[in-house]
Structure formats: structure tokens, C-alpha cells
Structure 1
Amino acid sequence: MDRVLTSTEYRLLIEHSPVMVWRAGVDAKCDYFNETWLQYTGRTMAQEMGDGWAEGVHPEDFQRCVAHYLAHFHRREPFEMEYRLRRKDGVFRWIFDRGVPYSDDSGVFAGYIGSCVDVDERRRAQDTQQQHTREQLALARDFERWILAIVSHDIRDPLNTIQLAAHVLSRTAEPGGPAKRQAESVGRAVGRIQHIVGDLLDLSREREGTGISVDRKPTDMRSMCQHIIDEVRAIATDRQITFDCEADGLGAWDEHRILQAISNLTSNAVQHGKPGSPVRLRLTGDAQRVAVEVHNEGAIPSEVLPRIFEPFRSGRHHGGRGQGLGLGLFIAKAIAVAHGGGLEVDCSGGATTFRLVLPRNGAAERVAA
């Protein structure tokens, strides 16, 4: 038969435990500290009684510590917290404190019993690691800015030169000859690289918090949709791409940016939709806003859907901006938000629809992307 510890044995266990132990009554005032606690703080029982223990809490942690303790005490719930406590040598060290409510022999709430351990080494190691992580992130951001500076200047200039030379060669070469075909191929390749460069610069603006700038001017959404369809049809010759216009397409938008967004969405539908299936664009709207829907057969995998608008998450694209970088959907949404609109996705019934919603009025409030 198991022997029950006597009250004296319990007291000796508590007094000589390597863990600091405290007790509080029903008034939330402390009425007991074990010898381990007193040796740690270098104070007497009389000094620690009541609220005296709180004199050793670090000033920066005091309000948080006391508020956390009292809030759980009034709800009679267990709690855990970490705070800095002054050791007997005057050094503040992090401790982990856990308190639980207890009842007397008749089942009536009698207060709290708590235990504390010194976790200063662990906390300082965490702080050191966090500081190291912050420094590494700062270095990564500086490196990113340096790379983007090269991309935006040192790469763009020779690309423009190559594109101009390819254009001149294309105009002077024999129609239908190999030189003309090669020049046109170089021109298309330069265009794709310029698209990637533009996406990287847009990503940088988003991360720096400046957002994508837009220059609204009166334009026609219907003509922009038709322009993108003609462009994609020339590349995806095996796909049927249709356009249903059910609303007036007039409004004030940044034509270049909207073309960019619709191109990204349409190219995404061609690349990721069911092979050989049709892609449908639909323009709807009312007096205040318009919506461009891009519909394709094929569902987005459930594990991808929650992060579909994050950079480098949307996969490879064909024939549009963002090729190979996974920036197409991210930038399309940023463009929508910069116009005061939004980009939604619906994936159901084995099909996917992206819906680009934009206010017609150029005076709509600008929202940081």
C-alpha cells in the first residue's frame, strides 16, 4: 500500500526544492515563499510578503506582469508568464512563472500556488538569435536593393540597345528571310526580359511600401480586353479565347497597368488551365465600377489557393509578364488595389475564375497596395 507523505515531508520537499515556490491567498496577496525563492532574491519573508515581491520585478515588465497575474487570478485560471526578477546580486534575470488556483479541504477556493525557474540563458540565447536574424534580414534587403539597382539601370540600358538594333535589322532584312525571323525572335526575347525586369521593380516598390503608381486617364476597358485577347491568341494558337462584353467599358484608369493586369490573368489562365480548353473573358459593371472576369477550366490545387497572390507562389506563366517568377497574380492584385479596387478568385466546380474589380471614377480613394 502506498504511503502518504506527512505534512512535515511535504514542507521539507517545498522548502528544499530547486524550484522557487510562492503562494497567494484569496486577496491575491502573497503569504508564502520557499527558501529557494528567498535565497535567490536575497530578501526576507517579511519583505516579500503581500505585494513586496513585486519590488524585484524589472520596471519595464512590472505593469505587464501584475496585470497578467491579476487578470487570471480574478478568473481563477492557471497562468504562465516570463519577466525579469532582480537576483540578490542586483542582476535582473528572466524567470518563467506558472501559477495555478487551489482549494482547501472543503473545496473552497483558497488562492494560488506558483513555481518559478530561471530561464535567463535561454531567453538571452533567443534574443541573440533574433538579433542575428534581424541583421541577416537587413543585409538581405540591402542586397535586394543593390540587385534591383543593377536590374533597373545596368541591364535596362543594354536591353534597349539590343531591342533597337533588332528593330532596325527587322526593318532592313528581306521579308520572310532568315535574318528577319532572327531579328524578330531577338525582339521578342528582349520584350520578355523587359517584362521580368518590370515585375522585379514593381515587387521592390511593394516591399518598400510605396505601392504601384498609377496615372489615371479616360480609357475604354472593352478595347483593352480585346487588345489582350488578340495578343494572347497570336501566341496560344491552339486555344479558343472568347470575350463577352456586357457593360459600358468607359472609365479612368492607368491603361498600361490595366493591360498588364489583364495580360497576367489571361496568360495565367492559358498556362494553368486545362490543356486545349477555352478561356473566357467577361466584362460586367454598373455605374460605379466594372469587373473583368477571366475564366478557365481546371481547379487550383487546394494547398496553393490560400497563397495564390503571394510573390513567387503562382508558378510559371506563358506569354505574359511574370514569366518564370510567379509574380503575375501578385502584381495584378497590386494594380487593382492601387486603383482602389480588388482581385478575387473563385475555384469551384472544376473551374477557376479571377475577377478584377475597378471603380470607374478616377477620384476613387487611392489605397496603398
Structure 2
Amino acid sequence: MLFQEDSSSSHSLEDLSREDLIQEVLHLKQALALAKERTELILQATNDAVYEWDLLSGYLSWNEGFLHLIGCEQQAIEHTIHFWSAHLHPQDYERVQESLQALFQQGGTQWVEQYRFRRKDGSYAYVLERGYIVYAAQNKPVRMIGTLQDVSKQKESELAREELSNEYAFLLDEIPSLVFSTQPDGHADFVNKQWLQYTGSAMKQIVGDGWTKAIHPLDRELTLQTWYTSVQQGINYQIQHRLLRHDGVYRWFQVDAVPYKDKHGTIIKWFGTCTDIEEVRQAKTETEDQLNYFYSLLMAIPSPIAIVRGPEHIVEFFNPHLEKLLGNILQVGVPLANCLEGLPAGYFFEMIQQVYQTGETRAIIEMPIQLTGRQGPPDAYHNLLFQAIRNKTGGRNGVLIFGHDVSEQVNARKKIEESRSRIRSILEGIPAMAWTTDVQGNTTYYNSHWYSYCGIPVGEKVNTYELIHPEDRPAVYSSWQEAQRSQSIWQAQYRLQREDGTYRWHLGRTVPVFDSEGNLLEWFGVGTDIEEQKQTQKMLENTLAELHEKNFELDQFVYKTSHDLRAPLTTILGLVTIIRGEAEESTKMQYVDLIEGRVQKLDTFIKSMLDYSRNTRTPVRSASIHFPALMEECLQELASLKHFDRLQIATQITGENINSDPFRLKIIFSNLISNAIKYQDFAKPDSYLHIHITLSPGQAEIVFTDNGVGIEQAYQDRIFSMFFRATDQSEGSGLGLYIVKQAVTVLQGSITLESKINKGTSFSIHLPNKAAG
């Protein structure tokens, strides 16, 4: 308690004299000062950050603990809510603000939040804030008092535990067994990846009691009864039952689970595994069926069989096949150990003893059999099954030994392994990448050339799919899946990443290998580098495309040339005929003017063709360009054009000269100025062409801007095409802008167009500064 009631002040103030009242006031001031001092001492003594927020004025005060928390001095602190807000982590800001607003709107009195708060050094501390709201009349909040506790270490521990949990889940997913865990009450909360893949289920379908759906209906009741007994009693759980596979097939599993307890002995988790025992169960079932139903036919069964009885394993029965295999060493009524004396049969005899003692069925897979007195490799291989024989009361009184000759399979497998070894030796020697996969398509071998190409240590596991170019992966995956489904040859072209990170084109080809009965054994694959072929193919395709374009242009050129050459000549011939029959001299001169116009048009067309030919065939020759002289030469040649004098041409040049091809620059200037002359807007009182030339050390920027008739938007994408004319009224040959575009391209530059009908046209050209030569 910070304050204690003083019994001396319990009487009424009305009973006090003035002097006593003054003393009482002084006493109360001292008590308040003492209480304040105690409060400040407590705030200074605590490690937590304590604050008081005046909700009416917005003033926010802190204790020393807050200064230690953020590593600031008192003078660096702003006593406003904005200072607190500015130090919130950006990812926590919105959540914390919404939570605080909700508290005020709901009229709450207590607020608890965890968030990150920025220290002076820029790092963030995890803090746990507990705040309490003080309300005045009419439930109006007036003050908030609270603490900020640094919980960074606890949070770091929590994150570390979460990371450890993730690592634990990863390890469980990689275990090649079905693994599960449950809560103390037995409800499943986790199964590993192997479980999900086997059942074809999702995790949300398994949690709780969902795992029971995979149990065979005939096994479900006993399984659940045994499981709940283990959970209730806290004892190990063990049972065998059938589980449904994703393809609808049930297989037998051995299930084992153990409880995990804390230091107080309380179960906090159950962990279990499911082991596939389908093959063992099948073998056991087959053996039991033969013992129960076909004992009378044992002598006819084409497999070695023997029965021994009692703890001394007295030979009771053996069939002719076993006698033929071992020779005359077995004798009925004689302990088996005596019959096998002198033979290396220790493991064989130990197996019989274990089966007799435990009653569990055992098997020896591919046991080598060698006849007495023989040296060298085994004569045969057998799978031997050892089954306990029980009496009517269930007691064990003997062991059944059943053998199955697997010599052919073992020898065939060895031949396959030898063949595979030879093939791999061959694959190591070929100058290409080679690999093998199992039936499911999982890679089992890469040759050294593959590892060398990819820059991966020999033997290191790698996902080949990740080395294929991302754009090629879908097609490769789809075709490989189809080849696996149809068990046919797979072939695909794809880009494969090299050691240096670059991609090169490869032709991959994988061939399925079958046994004599048509069963798929494995796949053999070879990858051949076809990067050069791909590049050559691409060059051929580009060449063919260029040839196609050139042929098209040539056809157009021949057609248009013959047409545009004949048309003026035909007109001239017609005018000459008319002149011969005309008597008036003045009329003859009019016809002569027309002939002159046709001749000029024909001359312009021939000049365009010459420019086209020279631009195509003449090599680029670079020299210093003096643009005023170039302009003067172009204008002199164009001065004879109709309406030349009407166009006002202004040129502005900034910068020093550049190096380029004078011939092609003259082609560009002549054609663009000619266009501006031909396509003036005669509805306007003045026509102009402004030429701005900006020269820099690296390039030249040339802009031709006129106020002519403009070009419709629909034609602007085609304006640089050969022989293109926007209308039948166009006076040009259709070659001018095409030649300009070709000349700019030869100079490794660029040209762009902006135009509006009745407004004018602007051509922008960028040309690089070429070295003189």
C-alpha cells in the first residue's frame, strides 16, 4: 500500500479550528508528497517501462525503465503519442492501432498487446504492453496507465522452437516410412509426407480421427479398441492391420506407437510408425494355407520341404526335392544338427531355433546352397521360409521349412547387373551426357560427362528438372509423363544450364528397357549438345526470311518500275502525236510544258531507283559532315520542283560536326525536303519546314518539322513500305520514304514519325557518330 489512513484526521473538518485546519492541510500535503515519492521510487526500481497517458491533453510520460528499454536519454523523448506510434514496427502498426481504437469504442478498461518497438540503435524489441483505462463521468476515458515489458528473449526462444519444429517436420517427411503423431487423447495432429503420398489424402483429412478411414473395415474395430486401450493406460501400442493405398489397394502394416512423457510422467504426445509387411503377410498366409489344405500333397510340391519336431528339431519329414538338393544327409528321426554336422549351416540352424522359441515366421532370402564337397560358386539359391507348427492348444511343437528355388531369378538379376555395369562403362566413354532411371523415372545414374557439364560433384544428388530452362520445363515434363505412361521412346529439345550459368540447347532421348516377358526394367537416356545446330538453324531461318522479303520487294520493284516508267512515256508519246497535228504555237507550248512535267517525274523516279540501288549496294564510307554545305547542295537540286519557292525552309544547327556517310545523308535530306515541298497545305497562307540538327560527340539528332497536309493515323505504320502511297492522288513514286528508312538502317540509326491531318508532320532521326574511314 502506498497510502495508509491517519486515525488523527478521521474527525469532521467542521470541528477543527483555523490553526488545526492549517495543520491538517499541511499533514495532507506531506502525505501526498510522501506517496508521490514512493510511487516514483517504485517506478524507478522496476525494470518494466511504465507510462501514463493523459487522454485529454495527449501528454505521455514515461519512467526510467522506458529509457533503458529503447536506449534513449530523457531529453531525446517526446512526450506525445506520436513518438510512441513512430517507434512501432511497420508490420505491427496497423494491427496495434486498430486494437487500441476498438478498446476505446467498446469502452474497455484493460488492453494487452504484443508488438515490436524500435530502439535507439534501430533494432526492434518485442514488448508486451498491459494498459488500464481510467474513465471519468459519462464513461469518458481520461487517462491510460500501463507497462511495457521486454519479452524479446522469450520471443526469440519461441521463434527458435518454431524453427526446430520445422526442422523436425522436415526430417519426418524424409523418413522412408509412414510416421504419425497424436495428442495425448489419441487424436492425430500430424502425419508425414510418406503417409499422405501412400493414402493420397490431404493433411486436413487425416487430423483428428480421419486416419481411421484408411483402415480396412474388417480391421477397424479391433484397431480402435487396441488404440484406445493404449491411450487410456499409457502403454505402448502395437498391432497389424491393412491400410488403403491411394490406388484402392489394401496392404498390411505393422503399427507401433509409444507415448512421449514429460518429467512428471504426463503424456504430452504419441509417436508412431507404420511398416509395410504385405510381402511377409502374403508369404505367411501362403505357407499356412499350404500347411492346412495341402499337407497331403507335400511330396508332389516341386520345392524342398522339411518338418522338424521338438526342441531337438528331430527330422520328421523331407520331400524328394530337398533330398535331391542336399543329397542323402537328412535322416528321419535324427536331430537336424547331427544331419548338418560338418556343413556351414550355422545361420540356417539358428533361424530354426528362433522360430521354434518365438513362434514367429522367419525367412532367408536368396540363401546360397552348395552341395557337399563342392568348391566354387553356389549351386543354387533358395528363399527359405521357417514356420512354427502348433498343436491343438496353440503350443509350438515343430518347425516347417519351405524352400523356393530362385536361382533363375538371382542369376538373371546378376546378368542384368553385369549388363548394366557394362552399359554404364560404355556410357562413361561416350562424349555426351548419359543417365539411367528406374521404372518410376527416378534417376539412378549419371555419367561423368553429365557432372562435368553441370559443374556438380560426382555422386551428388540433384534435381535435373531445375537445370532445364524454365520456359522449356512444362513441355519436357509433359512429354516425359506421356512417354512413361505409354512406355515408349522419349525425345525432346530443351536448354540445359551449364556450369557457368549459361544455357545450351540439347537433344534428350530416353529408351525403355524391357525383360524377356515385356516388363519394364529401366530407362537409358542420352543428351546431345545441339547448340551449334540450333544457331545454324536460326541463321538459316533468318536468311530464308530475308530472302523471302527480298523476293517480295524485287517483285514489287519490277512491277512498279515497269508501270511507273511506261506511264510517263505513254503520256509523252500521246502529247507528241497531238503536237504534230496542232497548228497553234501557243497550244503547242502548253503541250511541251506537259511533256516537260512528265519528263521531270520520270527523271525523279529514275533518280529514286538509282538511290535505292546505290543505297543497297554501296558500302558505307564515313567522313566529317558539313551540314550547311549538305543543305545547300540538296536545295540547289530541288529548286526546280514545283512550289519550291512557296516553302519557307529554316535550318538550326547546334554542336560540332560528326562523321557519317555523306551519300546516304544526302538521300535522307533530299527525300524529306522533297516530301515537304510536295505535300504543302495550300489552304494555309504560309508553308514552312524547320530542320533542327543537334550534334553531340556520340550522335546526331535531326528533326524535320513541317505544317503540311499530314498523314492519316491508319497509314503511319506503312509509310516506310516500298511503293506505298496513301492515296491515288499522291505524286511520289512510293520509294522516297522507303529509301530514307533503308539509309537510316544502313547507318545503324533510327527514325520515328509523328503526324496529324491538317497539322503537319515531324520526322525524328538519330544517327551514331561513326569513325572516319
TM-score, normalisation: structure 1 = 0.46
TM-score scaled to structure 2, two decimals?
A: 0.26
More relative contact order in 1 or in 2 (CA 8 Å, sep 6+)? 1
Larger Rg: 2
